[in-house]
Amino acid sequence: MQSYLKSLLSTYPQIAVILSVLISIVVSILGFIPSTFVTAINLKIFGLWEGTIISFLGEVIEAIISFVLYRKGFNRIVEQKVSKYPKVQQLLHVTGKEAFLMVFSLRLMPFVPSSIVTFLSAVGKMSPFHFFMASTLGKIPALAIEVYSTYQIVTWTKQGKFLLLCISIFLLVYGWRKWKSISK
């Protein structure tokens, strides 16, 4: 899939930026595909700085569109389901400065799934403006970390090799623990 998207963006350079942003939006709405692969493609095709700016633009636009779609589509359903759980209701009714800081802090963590943060914000009582500001400001450092990591791996530097080694060890340990817990 990644090679197909890279080929698509390379084939149509005049609309590659728009296509990349649209791909980011689709990835966000689907909610289960990590945006890192879009960042990797952007870095390969557009280079470090332009790829970073395009990835940031895509993530900001996709967050706004996803927020609106989630709010329109899931708000009533979640309200009905959550009425039985007062603790969850409290979380969804956070507003103002508290909601801003919550979204901002979650966005600072680059590997917290963006779609989950957007979904919880959308079905809650957070205003679209506060969400946009907190999400955008929080995305800056998170995307910087994501771009750095992805760039190191894509260009196969020593740091990239080390990052892949750490990720591989983590996945092996995690998989081993899961397998051991299942086999008991």
Domain, as residue range, for 139: 2-156
Query: Do residues 139 and 60 lie in contact, with contact meaning Cβ atoms separated by under 8 Å?
Result: yes
176: in domain? no
45: in domain? yes
Query: Which of 30-39, 48-57, 134-143 has the weakest average pLDDT?
Result: 30-39
Total tally of structural domains belonging to the chain: 1
76: in domain? yes
182: in domain? no
- Residue 1's pLDDT is 64
Q: Using 50, 70 and 90 to split pLDDT, how confident is the model at 10?
A: confident
Within its chain, how far is the Cα of 117 from the centroid?
9
52: in domain? yes
Q: Give pLDDT tens digits for 86-118.
A: 766 776 788 888 889 989 988 887 667 788 888
Cα–Cα distances in Å, from 87 out to 74, 82, 94, 152, 166?
Answer: 19, 9, 11, 42, 36
What's the average model confidence in pLDDT over 163-169? Answer: 86
**The two three-digit tokens of residue 86, written as one number:** 């007062």
Q: Using 50, 70 and 90 to split pLDDT, how confident is the model at 168?
A: confident
Task: Identify the residue with better confidence: 83 or 120.
Answer: 120
139: in domain? yes
134: in domain? yes
Q: pTM for the complete prediction? A: 0.76
Measured CA to CA, the distance from residue 50 to residue 42 in angstroms comes to 8
Query: Which of 33-37, 87-91, 179-183 has the weakest average pLDDT?
Result: 87-91
86: in domain? yes
The angle, 0 to 180 degrees and rounded to 10, between the axes of the packed helices 114-123 and 48-82 is 40
Tell which residue, 173, 164, 97, has the closest CA to residue 134.
Answer: 97
Percent of the chain at pLDDT above 70? 95
Q: What is the mean pLDDT of the chain?
A: 85
